[in-house]
Amino acid sequence: MDTEVQDGAEALSEGCSLAEEPPAQWSVPEVCAWLDARCGDGDLVQLAAEHGVSGRALLRMTEGTLRRMGVAPRSRRRELLRELLGLRLQQELEELLSIAGGEHPP
């Protein structure tokens, strides 16, 4: 595994919460750590590292993007897209709460 990816994974496993900063601001190692924690797929983590996928790029991924990156089969892309939808919704909710002056959900 790439050293940056490994560092991100170690930070996640040591209790460093990625929720402390918005996903759009995640570095490549943080994206890789999130992918590893969510999907547990070393190939996917390696692809993200090779393509330099930042948090901003992660949030903009589409099925076509994943296909061009080499993520196969389609069921794997669809699973990742479901995870990404949840991540996008979480970020949107946090931004709306911030704008409204509310507290973050538990």
Residue-wise pLDDT for 30-69, tens only, equals 999 999 998 887 899 999 999 999 999 999 999 999 999 9
Q: What is the DSSP string of 26-72?
A: --HHHHHHHHHHHH--HHHHHHHHHTT--HHHHHT--HHHHHHHT--
SS3 6: helix
Residue-range domain boundaries for the chain: 28-100
Q: Decide if pLDDT at 11 tops 80.
A: no
Mean pLDDT, range 71-81, rounded to an integer = 93
State both tokens at 41. 């797929």
Place of tokens 């911030």: 98
Could you give the CA distance from residue 101 to residue 85 in angstroms, rounded to a whole number? Answer: 24
CA angle 56, 94, 62 (to 5 degrees): 35
- Answer yes or no: CATH 2.60.40.10 is held by domain 28-100: no
- CB-CB contact of 43 with 77 (8 Å): no
Task: Give mean pLDDT, residues 61-80.
Answer: 94
| pLDDT value of position 42 | 87
Tokens of 87: 């991540």
